[in-house]
């Protein structure tokens, strides 16, 4: 279940700010992500692209 809001464009900003030590909840508030569906996407996402990109189809 999701609101369908496109949020992918904000992930890199979220990742960088959290990596620099800011609390995830505060960053999500600043990005305007107030609904729990969007917040859950970012808080639970595990970035596997670099791990799987080395395998060819
Ligand atoms: Zn949402």
pLDDT at 50: 86
d(CA 33, CA 40): 10
pLDDT at 40: 94
d(CA 35, CA 42): 12
- Contact at 8 Å (CB) between 10 and 39? no
29: left (phi over 0), alpha (psi -120 to 50) or beta: alpha
pLDDT at 47: 85
pLDDT means per 10 residues, the chain with 57 residues, are: 90 95 96 94 90 87
Please give the distance, rounded to the nearest whole angstrom, from the Cα atom of residue 25 to the centre of ligand 1: 15
Instruction: Tell me the domain boundaries of the chain.
Output: 8-52
- Contact at 8 Å (CB) between 38 and 7? yes
pLDDT at 14: 96
pLDDT at 6: 93
Please give the distance, rounded to the nearest whole angstrom, from the Cα atom of residue 6 to the centre of ligand 1: 8
Please give the distance, rounded to the nearest whole angstrom, from the Cα atom of residue 32 to the centre of ligand 1: 11
Give the global pTM. Answer: 0.78
């Amino acid at each position: 279940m999701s609101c369908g809001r496109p949020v992918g464009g904000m992930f890199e900003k979220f990742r960088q700010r959290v990596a620099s030590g800011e609390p995830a909840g505060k960053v999500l508030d600043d990005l305007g992500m107030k609904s729990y569906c969007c917040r859950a996407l970012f808080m639970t996402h595990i970035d596997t692209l670099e791990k799987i990109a080395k395998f060819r189809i």
